[in-house]
Amino acid sequence: VSASVVVWHDLECGRYSADLPLWRALADREAGPILDVGAGTGRVALDLARHGHTVIALDRDPELLATLEERGDGAVATVLADAEGFDLAEARFGLILVPMQTIQLLSDRPAFLRAARRHLIEGGLLAAALAEALEGFDPQTSALPAPDVARHEGWVYASQPVAVRERPGRSTIERIRTTLAPDGARTAEPDAIDLAHVTAASLAREAAPFGFTAEPPGRIEATDEHVGSEVALLRA
């Protein structure tokens, strides 16, 4: 039995909350509706909907979106699409959010920026969180960060970061995902995520040709479990 994509997603992303005050403040201040890009199981989208905002959640993973719909009880509409070149016909948004470094996962950022600009009203805002430089650590010499652990239907799931490898233009975060079955059987599988190096300044330069003007970036402070983020604010 392999763990579902939802369990790992909730385990590795679902508990972060340091960014929510910033997204709520932007949602209160900017025009709507809001498009949440890479919404996953709706950590941000459902929070903003609970605060009275109209949110559309876009992701390319159907299982994550199905879970979001269930948890939101229909309060948040979902769109199954690739962020790199989505087309929502005539839909226009006052605010497009890309939380949790998702923009650094994209391989074609220009395609995303073009699509985002087309779906923003004049004067709308694109806000994207960007992880601050991750320090490469070597498990031989540094203490490992604590694993994320969850229990689900008698199973235990643990995700342990083991290395951050720096390469030109990208960082690879390596984890070991361990499951412990109710009968004691254990599995361990490596998982790696590649994050492109993107700063608010570099994104501003990339976004300018698509009609965005950069505003001073926002900030999300580091927590014990997460590095801090810059939040690029790009005005259409």
Ligand X SMILES: C[S@@+](CC[C@H](N)C(=O)[O-])C[C@H]1O[C@@H](n2cnc3c(N)ncnc32)[C@H](O)[C@@H]1O
To the nearest 10°, report the CA torsion of 229, 16, 193, 155: 170
Q: DSSP readout, 37-102? A: ET-TT-HHHHHHHHTT--EEEEES-HHHHHHHHHHHTTSSEEEE--STT---TT--EEEEEE-TTG
Q: Rule CB under 6 A: say whether 116 interacts with ligand X.
A: no
> Is there a contact between 123 and 93 (Cβ–Cβ < 8 Å)?
no
Q: Rule CB under 6 A: say whether 59 interacts with ligand X.
A: yes
Coil, strand or helix: which one is 116?
helix
How long a stretch of residues is the chain? 236
Output the smallest distance, CB 81 to ligand X, in A.
Answer: 7
Q: Cα Rg for the chain, rounded, in angstroms?
A: 18
Number of residues that bind ligand X (CB under 6 A): 18
Contact flags string 10-49 toward ligand X, x per CB under 6 A: ---x------------------------xxx--xx-----
- Cβ nearer to ligand X, comparing 30 with 59: 59
Residue selected from 99, 124, 161, 217 as contacting ligand X according to rule CB under 6 A: 99
- Cβ nearer to ligand X, comparing 25 with 181: 25
- Cβ nearer to ligand X, comparing 39 with 233: 39
CA-closest candidate to residue 82, choices 134, 38, 17, 126 = 38
Output the smallest distance, CB 70 to ligand X, in A.
Answer: 15
Examine residue 110 and say whether the peptide bond preceding it is cis (omega within 30 degrees of 0).
no
Output the smallest distance, CB 181 to ligand X, in A.
Answer: 26
- Residues within window 66-95 making contact with ligand X, judged by CB under 6 A: 82-84
> Is there a contact between 130 and 229 (Cβ–Cβ < 8 Å)?
yes
Residue selected from 67, 102, 104, 179 as contacting ligand X according to rule CB under 6 A: 102
Output the smallest distance, CB 17 to ligand X, in A.
Answer: 10
- Residues within window 129-148 making contact with ligand X, judged by CB under 6 A: none
Q: Rule CB under 6 A: say whether 128 interacts with ligand X.
A: no
* Separation in Å, CA 26 to CA 20, 91, 96, 203, 217: 10, 20, 10, 19, 12
Q: Measured at CB, which residue is nearest to ligand X?
A: 38
Q: Which residues contribute to the site for ligand X (CB under 6 A)?
A: 13, 38-40, 43-44, 59-61, 64, 82-84, 99-100, 102, 105-106
